[in-house]
Structure formats: C-alpha cells, structure tokens
C-alpha cells in the first residue's frame, strides 16, 4: 500500500513573523507533509527578522480542494493578505470545507476579514483580541485552542504545542 | 493680553511609525503648541525606522482635562497601547470630552479598543478597515476625514492635510 503525502497550504506575505512560518513548515515537512507557500505573487517573501521563504504559487494558481490543511502564520503578513480579495476568499472557502485551519499570533486577522469567526472559540496575540470579539469570536488567552476545524495559538512561545496540534490534525485528515 | 499656549497629548509606544509622530509634533510646535508625549512608561520610545521620542509622562501622570487635543500616531504603537488599560481609558474619556482627537494609519486601533467608533465616520490604513467596520465605524478611503471631534488620515502621504487639520482644530479650541 502506497502512503499518500499530505499537502499543506501556508499563506504568506511580506513582513511575516519568521519563526511562525519556518518552524511549523519544518515540523510538518519532517512529518512527511508537503508544504506549499502561497503568496500574493510568486517569489521571495521577507520575514520581519530576515528569514526568506519563496511563494511557489499565487491564490489564482490553487484551489482550497488541493490541500489537506491551511496554516496562517502571524507578524505583518495577515494584514497584507486580508486586503487581497483572492486570499480572503481562499481562506473563507477553506474554513467552510471543514478541513483544519491553523492560525497563530496576528493570523486570525485574515479569519476576521474572511468573516468566519462568529461564534467560534479561539486565541491570538492579545493585541488583536478586541477585533476578534467585535468579529463575533470568543477570545480566550490560552497557548492552544481547538474549536472544530480551527486551531489557534498566541505567540512564538506557543509553537511547540501549535506544531503538535497541526501534526495531529493532519494525521486525522482522510485523503 | 497674554496668549495661552495650547497643549497637545501625543500617545506613543514602541514601534511607532516614525514620521506619523515626528511630523505632526514638529508642525504643532511650529504653531506654538506644547506637545507632551505620553507613554506606558517614561523614557525613550523607538520608532520602526530608527526615530526616538521621549515619553515625558505616563497615563497615570495626566488627565484628559490637561490637554486641548489628542494625537494618535500609527505603526505598531496603537496595538501596544490598546492592551494597556490606562491608555484605553484616557482615550475613551478624551473622545467623550468633545475636544479634538486625531488618529492616523493604525491609530484607530486604539479607538476601537476604547469603544468610541460606533456610528462614526473615519479613515485609517486599509489593513484595519474590517476591524473598524466591525467596531461600528463607517470606514471611508479618503486622505482626511473629519466627523465631529474625530480627525483621521490613512498613511504618511496624507500628513500634509492631516497636519493642517490638526492646526485648524487646535486653533478652534477655546482655552
């Protein structure tokens, strides 16, 4: 029996919080997953602290159905993605699909703009907690929150439990 | 007859958008106003691009009644101020006082947390437009928006009209 490789979409834009992208990416790749970075345009994307990742696809190139999980790192990337309509629509459809969607730090800003937080329980960096509440979300201050297909964490220090939750969720996805 | 000097409160925190603080401060000082930088703690505050301003007072040291106008620069400062309760309360009381409150770029994040935007017309950097709408604000994409005592602009390129509006508003305040 041939094992099927899981495929993860990581959405990124300029000024991402370096380790919130590189750490989950490396973790998932060590688990055998393929991680595709999706950007507003193809090519190099700079992190806040000097990391570089390459967008291999744009939102026009892909469909949510191509992936088993969506990961939304934080920093300044989510506020750049949330004003790019194809990124917002991709995110909205992914959450609706029921497959796992993971966001850390400022990542839920993209979920706010996708209008998918009403009645959902989640965490994020506390600097955007009021925006989450105004979007109808139930904000809690915990290292890891799982509510249905939403997986959220607050800050880089939460990455160990965040990564583990991504691994569990990906293992649970039927392919 | 002795002229009375107008007194402006500028609220700042780490990672402010340099020119959105330094430019209005210099403009207002050239008009003869005194500008006091208020911070979470006293001392040096770093801008995103290397500028330094000094907080001469904390929110515990001052009252909104000490000032004729409030200015909220953007960048990363507002998201640091909006999780500091004394800053949020100072802002809420200032808006309620009816005296001019000016915010640019990410500045309205502090107004969202102060819960003063319901039914108000304003602008901001487009990256937070959805948060303004969810807070009950009427977001418009214009270089300068004046609604009652609220004065708002979007980005550093709007500073010339923003500065002029601050000058006009300050001239109109009875002391």
Each residue of B33-54: pLDDT tens digit? 999 999 999 999 999 999 999 9
Number of domains in chain A: 1
| Structural domain includes residue A1 | no
State the average pLDDT for chain B. 96
Mean pLDDT of A87-106: 98
List the alpha helices (DSSP H) in chain A: 18-30, 77-81, 85-97, 108-113, 129-134, 159-171
Decide if pLDDT at A47 tops 60: yes
Per-residue confidence (pLDDT) for residue B1, from 0 to 100: 41
Per-residue confidence (pLDDT) for residue B2, from 0 to 100: 46
| Structural domain includes residue A129 | yes
Decide if pLDDT at A64 tops 90: yes
Chains A and B form CB pairs within 8 A to the count of 36
Per-residue confidence (pLDDT) for residue A1, from 0 to 100: 41
From the list B25, B106, B120, B154, the catalytic residue is B106
pLDDT digits (tens, 9 = 90+) for B94-107: 999 999 999 999 99
| Structural domain includes residue B63 | yes
Considering only CB atoms, B134 lies closest to which of A79, A127, A134, namely A134
Mean pLDDT of A153-164: 98
| Structural domain includes residue A43 | yes
Is residue B113 within 8 angstroms of chain A, CB to CB? yes
Mean pLDDT of A149-163: 98
- For residues B3 and A37, the model is more confident at A37
Per-residue confidence (pLDDT) for residue B4, from 0 to 100: 84
Per-position b or e across B51-77, b if 16+ CB within 10 A of its CB: eebebeebbeebebeebbbbbbbbbbb
Decide if pLDDT at A74 tops 80: yes
Is residue A135 within 8 angstroms of chain B, CB to CB? yes
| Structural domain includes residue B105 | yes
pLDDT digits (tens, 9 = 90+) for A140-151: 999 999 999 999
Below-70 pLDDT ranges, chain B: 1-3, 173-175
- What is the rounded (10 degree) CA torsion for B139, B140, B145, B149? -20
Distance CA B43, CA A106 (A): 28
User: A4 falls in which pLDDT band (50, 70, 90)?
Assistant: confident
Spell out which residues of chain A touch residue B113, defining contact as CB-CB under 8 Å. Answer: 130
Contact A37, A45 (CB under 8 A): yes
Considering only CB atoms, A130 lies closest to which of B80, B82, B126, namely B82
Decide if pLDDT at A119 tops 60: yes
Which residue range forms the structural domain that includes residue A16? Answer: 7-171
Does residue B106 carry a catalytic annotation? yes
Distance CA B67, CA B100 (A): 10
State the average pLDDT for chain A. 96
**pTM attached to this predicted model:** 0.96
Spell out which residues of chain A touch residue B131, defining contact as CB-CB under 8 Å. Answer: 109, 112, 131, 134-135
| Structural domain includes residue A65 | yes
Query: Can you give the C-alpha Rg of chain A in angstroms?
Result: 14
| Structural domain includes residue B95 | yes
What is the CATH number for A81?
A: 3.40.50.880
| Structural domain includes residue A83 | yes
């Amino acid at each position: 029996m041939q094992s099927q490789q899981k495929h993860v979409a990581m959405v990124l834009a300029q000024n991402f919080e370096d380790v919130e992208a590189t750490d989950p990416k490396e973790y998932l790749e060590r688990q055998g997953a393929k991680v595709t970075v999706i950007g507003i345009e193809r090519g190099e994307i700079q992190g806040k602290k000097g990391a570089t990742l390459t967008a291999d696809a744009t939102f026009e190139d892909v469909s949510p159905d191509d992936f088993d999980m969506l990961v939304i790192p934080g920093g300044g990337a989510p506020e750049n993605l949330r004003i790019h309509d194809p990124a917002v629509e991709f995110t909205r459809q992914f959450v609706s699909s029921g497959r796992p969607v993971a966001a850390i730090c400022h990542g839920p800003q993209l979920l706010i703009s996708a209008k998918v937080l009403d009645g959902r329980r989640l965490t994020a960096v506390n600097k955007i907690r009021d925006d989450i509440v105004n979007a109808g979300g139930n904000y809690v201050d915990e290292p890891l929150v799982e509510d249905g297909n939403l997986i959220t964490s607050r800050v880089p220090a939460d990455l160990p439990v965040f990564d583990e939750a991504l691994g569990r969720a990906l293992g649970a996805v039927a392919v």
